[in-house]
A and B are shown apart, each in its own frame.
Chain A
Amino acid sequence: MTTTLVKVSAFFVRNWWMTQRNTFTFFEVAVWPVVGLLSVGLMTTFLRLPGEAVVFVLTGTLALSVVQVCQLDVAYAVLFDVWSKSVKHQFLAPIDPWHVAVGAWLVGALRGAAVFALLTAVTRGVFGVSFVAHGWTVAVAFLLGLLLSAAGLGLLVCSLLLLCGLRAEVSAWSGVSLVFLVCGVYYPVSVLPQPLAGLASAVPLTYFLEAFRAGFGFDPVFSHPLGWGFALAVLYLGGSYLILAGAVARARRTGMLLKLSD
């Protein structure tokens, strides 16, 4: 057990040290999320949306920023090695892909929580609405749902990197936007055209957004959104992990581990 924790800590401290020294960390955690929140929030002011609608829209911005930051950290577990051409050293050690994933996700969870806290404070200060108005339990459940969803997305990015190499790098930044398109980021999923609405019901983020917004008086399209959200998120996390484990095994067969280290 202790050995397992030490192995997980390898990827936690590694990503944590890299995060501390990365100039982009400040932009990823503070600048871009706040810029996104302000621009969307000011648009709601211009459109003279009522308070509930402002919360509805800003919840989307909050979710997008938290998931983006957290999944990026999970993706960094492989991306840092791809960029520094040190992939083979990681997989030479007697570790399992989940040691890598959990260690990296813990850093992502910390950074995601920091983004959540920062955007909550900015929303309250600038737009006069609070994401924690209906209690911390609802907010924490929402945050946990976002972080779990981010873990699944990050693992998929890691898998793509190991399958396709550096060509898949772009998925670390663009994948989240595609998912948020169908999960009702700034609108209820009921406005989506039929094929996309069907897809939305299979995305855990849809349920987490619905559950959180329900606290602000918006009737959810789906029943028991939180329960469904967590069930789907755990299911996808398991599926993403299996895909990652398969991608690592394939990379050992095809020589991709070596190619990414040259």
Chain B
Amino acid sequence: MAMSEPAVVVRGLAKTFRTGWWRRRHQPAVCGVSFDVPPGAIFGVLGPNGAGKTTLLSILATLLVPDAGEARVLGLDVVRQARRVRKRINLSSGSTSFLWSLTPREILDVAGRTYGLLARVRRPRVEGLLDRFELTTHADQPYNELSTGLKQRLGLAKAFINDPELLILDEPTVGLDPDVAVRIRDEIAAVRRRGRTTILLSTHYMREAELLCDEIVFLRAGRILAHGDPPSLKREILSGDRILLTVDGPVATALDGLPGILAVRANGDGAECAVDDARKRLPEMLRHLESQGLPVSEVQVLEPSLESVFIELVR
């Protein structure tokens, strides 16, 4: 794969699950999805429950065979060259689970063996991962005695055992205490800084995606609703900044027709305004309302977030 070539290329990917023995039911999970992931980026896959995020990531991880379309990972076809893909990728998910009696050291050792790592490479790598993910003090404790946070960190540590070029993280911080989630996010950010690994990240937490992702796709019912980097998505989907004004009087009609105001909605004892640029328009609006005899008692500029984008998209 050339350096400029995307790490992941997805074209018209589709997967439908068929359930039931007697009466076959068809449940489309991914419907003709296409996108590219640049090398070294953190690429977010967002969407509500049942959007097809896990199905999409599972196809790219070669755990699931698509019905139609094409997916290339690191220049290799995920169906025809699946074995070669598996050598160079790894996956960790929020629901990661391992054999209950094995210890973290043994789990990492077994994982290393499945990638054919010889003892002289495997042993220092296992110890290094235990250290990096702060698991050393729990290294010989059975898996079923570990806390949820430790299990999640072990799942992430296991995903690094083969030093993957593509790391697939399926909701890696789901159900974690905030402090543990922060540590996992820091580790993901650190991987990006090292620059060698491309990361595909699915998450429910918009703040997490906003902090980590260079590019994002929003999925709903197996289709891409929006695709871009977080700032441009916020700009495009939310159509500008939001200003909340508390005014005693008919503020909505007073603001009508002012330049740069995209929409005004009456909101209790004031209005919510969508403007093209809050910094530029707010002083003009305040001056205008003052001149109309409508003094503003409170102003709130709402910072647009991915969460708002998400809500807007699923509305």
Contacts and interface: CB of A to CB of B under 8 A. Distances in A.
Interface of A: 2-4, 6-7, 9-10, 13-14, 17-18, 21-22, 80-81, 83-86, 88-95, 99, 252-255, 257-258, 261-262
Contacts of B234: none
Given A21-B142, A254-B18, A255-B17, 9 more contacts: A14-B99, A14-B106, A14-B110, A85-B95, A85-B97, A89-B98, A93-B111, A253-B64, A258-B63
Contacts of B84: 94
Interface in B16-63: 17-18, 54-55, 58, 61-63
B196 interface: no
Given A84-B97, A84-B99, A93-B86, A9 B113 contact: yes
B290 to A, nearest CB: 60
B116 A14 contact: no
B95 A22 contact: no
A10 B98 contact: no
B114 interface: yes
Contacts, number: 96
A87 to B, nearest CB: 9
B165 interface: no
Complex A-B, nearest 9 residue pairs according to Cβ-Cβ distance, in ascending order: A10-B113, A3-B116, A93-B114, A94-B86, A21-B101, A85-B97, A94-B87, A10-B114, A253-B65
A93 B89 CA distance: 9
A255 B117 CA distance: 28
A6 B102 contact: no
A205 B181 CA distance: 55
27 contacts: A9-B113, A10-B111, A10-B113, A13-B109, A13-B113, A18-B99, A21-B142, A84-B97, A85-B95, A86-B97, A86-B98, A88-B91, A89-B111, A90-B114, A92-B86, A92-B90, A92-B91, A93-B86, A94-B83, A94-B84, A94-B86, A94-B114, A252-B65, A253-B64, A254-B18, A255-B55, A258-B64
Q: What bracket does the count of chain B residues touching chain A fall in?
A: 35 or more
A84 B113 contact: no
A88 B113 contact: no
Contacts of B64: 252-253, 255, 257-258
B116 A13 contact: no
B158 interface: yes
B96 interface: yes
A18 B116 CA distance: 21
A259 B296 CA distance: 57
Contact of A6 (B90, B117, B142): B117
Contacts of B114: 7, 10, 90, 93-95, 99
B84 to A, nearest CB: 8
Contact of B63 (A91, A99, A262): A91
Given A89-B158, A92-B63, A258-B58, A80 B99 contact: yes
Nearest to B87: A94
Nearest to B58: A258
A163 to B, nearest CB: 12
B100 interface: yes
Contacts of A257: 63-64
B113 A7 contact: yes
A17 B102 contact: yes
A261 B54 contact: no
A91 B17 CA distance: 20
